[in-house]
Amino acid sequence: MRLILEVWRQADATSPGRFERYEVDGVTDEVSMLELLDMLNAQLVAEGREAVAFDHDCREGICGSCGLMVNGQPHGPQDYTPACLQRVRTFSDGDVVTLEPWRAGAFPVVRDLVVDRSALDRIIASGGYISTATNAAPEALTQPVNKHQAEAAMDHAACIGCGACVAACPNGAAQLFTGAKVAHLAELPQGQVERYERVRSVVATMESEFGSCTNYGECVPACPAGIELDVIAHLNRDFRKAVVIERRGEVPQRTDVPWLARLRGGPWWQSDPGDAGDHTER
């Protein structure tokens, strides 16, 4: 079939971008969204024109590199599927297909369809881990983990970090991504020690970089890893607990996590520590 592509072209982060129209002929059903771009690029290179830049790597749905809006939908028309595994089958001859970079304020365009998703890494760097020095781990079996909890942790840990949740969100919020990490580590006994410092810290980073969640739920069908909305509930629950625990002074004043140290400057919930007493749920 022949497809007409409307592709976002932008030379770099500072230049203005625009849509350009191309035609690709001879597209067969098995071609993936990314291979469609390969076909276009082969054509452009043969004509001596600049190829469309796009992020991609493993092409089997696990690395999370690829990310493009296809007709306004993150990764393409198929739910729960990354662009690299979506085929053009659903299009018909002569269709116009619009390809854009992730739409989110937190992901500035680097070039064409490539965006900068380092904000997601800053969330992780601010606490999305379990601090364990190499060689310090005890024998793995000393801490049994309930099978259901291990499975739940795996469900949340499946996130591939592509950023589709943010791109799908009308608010550009990263709650699904952050919630998945918080829920993953909170399900495991190893993650308990730093549980509440972690959630305070990653939420602070998330809020400084991304929009706010208003429970649209658009992120869920966009997620190629099948992360579910309950991770956001988990995130909110742990966050509230963390605030309460912190006001009671039960969280150690950690100095080695810069984000936490910055928080001590006094965000809104610390403005009136006197009302902490009512919230006693643990």
When asked if residue 144 is in the footprint of another protein (CB under 8 A), the reply is yes
Closest to 15 (Cα-Cα) out of 132, 111, 122: 111
Report the nearest approach of another protein to the CB of residue 44 (Å): 7
Report the nearest approach of another protein to the CB of residue 222 (Å): 17
When asked if residue 83 is in the footprint of another protein (CB under 8 A), the reply is no
Nearer to another protein, 203 or 244 (CB): 203
When asked if residue 158 is in the footprint of another protein (CB under 8 A), the reply is yes
Report the nearest approach of another protein to the CB of residue 195 (Å): 12
Closest to 206 (Cα-Cα) out of 119, 115, 267: 119
The first and second tokens of residue 150, run together, are: 């291990």
The first and second tokens of residue 79, run together, are: 């739910």
The first and second tokens of residue 135, run together, are: 């060689």
Piece of the chain touching another protein by CB under 8 A; list 122-130, 206-214, 230-238, 263-271 = 122-130
When asked if residue 132 is in the footprint of another protein (CB under 8 A), the reply is yes
Whether residue 219 contacts residue 169, with contact meaning beta carbons closer than 8 Å, is answered with yes
Whether residue 70 contacts residue 97, with contact meaning beta carbons closer than 8 Å, is answered with yes
When asked if residue 28 is in the footprint of another protein (CB under 8 A), the reply is yes
Q: Which amino acid is at 215?
A: N
Q: List binders of another protein among 42-81 (CB under 8 A).
A: 42, 44-46, 48-51, 53, 55-65, 81
Among 1, 6, 71, 145, binds another protein (CB under 8 A): 145
Q: For residue 9, what is the DSSP state?
A: E
CA 43 to each of CA 38, 39, 48, 51, 146: distance values in angstroms, whole numbers, following the listed order: 9, 6, 9, 9, 54
When asked if residue 269 is in the footprint of another protein (CB under 8 A), the reply is no
Nearer to another protein, 139 or 272 (CB): 139
Q: List binders of another protein among 212-241 (CB under 8 A).
A: none
Among 90, 118, 214, 215, binds another protein (CB under 8 A): 118
Whether residue 181 contacts residue 203, with contact meaning beta carbons closer than 8 Å, is answered with no
